[in-house]
Chain A
C-alpha cells in the first residue's frame, strides 16, 4: 500500500516538473514534437530507475566509509556513466531511436530530475524498493508532463500569437496553466 502511495505521489501529486520544477530544461527544450518528447521521456525513465537502484548502493558504501560529503560528486558520476551505457546500448539495439534522440541523450546527465530524484530518495530515507518505486514514479510523471505539454505546443504552433509572446514566453504561460491543473491533485493523498 505504501508503495502505491509513493508511486501515485511521485507521478501526480508531487509531479517533478509541475510541482518540484525539476527537469525544466528538457521540459521546455525537447517538447516541440510529441514523438521526441516521448522518446526523451522513455530514455529518462530508464536512467532514473536504474540510477535510483545504483545510487542506493553507492550511498550505503559512502555511509560505510564515512564519506557522505562526496554524495553529490559520486551520484553525478554514476549518472554520467549510466547515460553513457544507455547511449552505447541504444546505438547497438535501436539505431533509429538513437538517431531520433540525438543530442538529447548526453543531455540526460544534466537533467536535474535524475540527480534530484536520487538525492530526494536519500533525504526521504527510502529503502531499496521504495527508492526504485519513487524514481520510477518520478520518471513516469516527467514523461506524462512532457508528452502532454508537447501536445499543447504542437497546437500552439498554429495559433496566431503576438511576436513578443512567441516561443518561450507563450510556452511558459501554457506550462503555468498546466501547473494549475496539476495542483488540483494536491489533496489526493
Chain B
C-alpha cells in the first residue's frame, strides 16, 4: 500500500466527492443541527470518528460477512461505534450532548456512513478504507461547519459565540429556523456547483 493512493483517497472525500456538496448525502444532520457553529463541528467530528472505525472494521471483516446479510452486519458495526460516541459525549461533553440530542443516535442512519461501507469499505483493504472514512468525515465536517457558521452569523450575528456583525445588524431569525436551513443550504450548494462548473470550464480552456 503506497502513500500516494492513501493521500488520493483521503483528499477525494474532502474535495472531489465531498459528501455534502458533491454527493448530497447525510442531509438530516446537515440541516437539523447547523444553527450553531459549535454544533456543526461537534457533529462533524463525531460522525468522522464513527466513519473511520466502521470503515476500518467492515473492511477487516469484508471476507467474512456473507453478501446477503451485509446490511444488518453493517448496521450492528455502525451502531456499536455510535453507542461509543454517545457514551463518551454524555460523560465528557454534556452540554453538546444535550444540544445535539436525538441526532447523536441518528448518526446510525446517516447515509454517508452506509454509502461508504457499501461502496468503499466492503471492497477495499483496511488502511485505504480508514483513509476514505477520514477524508469523507472531514469533508462532511468542513461542509457542515461552513454552513453552521453562515447560519449562526446571519441568525445571531455570531460565530462560535463571538460577535462578528456590527452593532446595527438585526439578526435574521429565519436563518436559524428550519426554513432558513433549507434555503441557505440550497444557496450554498448553488454557489459550490457554480464554482465547480467554472473551474471545470477553466481547466478545459487551459487544455
Q: Are B106 and A116 in contact (CB under 8 A)?
A: yes
* Binding site secondary structure of chain A: helix
Q: Are B181 and A123 in contact (CB under 8 A)?
A: no
Judged by a CB distance under 8 angstroms, whether B185 is at the interface is: yes
Q: Which chain A residue has the least Cβ–Cβ distance from B25?
A: A25
Question: Which A residues between 133 and 154 are near B, CB-CB below 8 angstroms?
Answer: none
- Size of interface on B: residues with Cβ below 8 Å to A: 44
Q: Which of B38-46, B76-84, B131-139 contacts A (4 or more CB under 8 A)?
A: B76-84
Judged by a CB distance under 8 angstroms, whether B105 is at the interface is: yes
Q: A25-B111, A80-B72, A111-B109 are in contact. Are A169 and B82 (CB under 8 A)?
A: no
Question: Which B residues between 41 and 84 are near A, CB-CB below 8 angstroms?
Answer: 71-72, 75-76, 79-80, 82-83
* Binding site secondary structure of chain B: helix
Give Cα A177–Cα B181 distance, bound, in whole angstroms. 11
Q: Which chain A residue has the least Cβ–Cβ distance from B182?
A: A176
Q: Are A112 and B186 in contact (CB under 8 A)?
A: no
Residues of chain B lying within 8 A (CB to CB) of residue A183:
177-179
Judged by a CB distance under 8 angstroms, whether B108 is at the interface is: yes
Judged by a CB distance under 8 angstroms, whether B190 is at the interface is: yes
Q: Are B83 and A112 in contact (CB under 8 A)?
A: no
Q: Give 20 A-B contacts (CB < 8 Å), ordered by A residue.
A: A21-B32, A21-B178, A22-B28, A25-B111, A28-B24, A28-B27, A69-B83, A72-B82, A76-B109, A77-B75, A110-B109, A115-B108, A116-B102, A164-B190, A165-B190, A171-B186, A172-B186, A173-B183, A177-B183, A180-B174
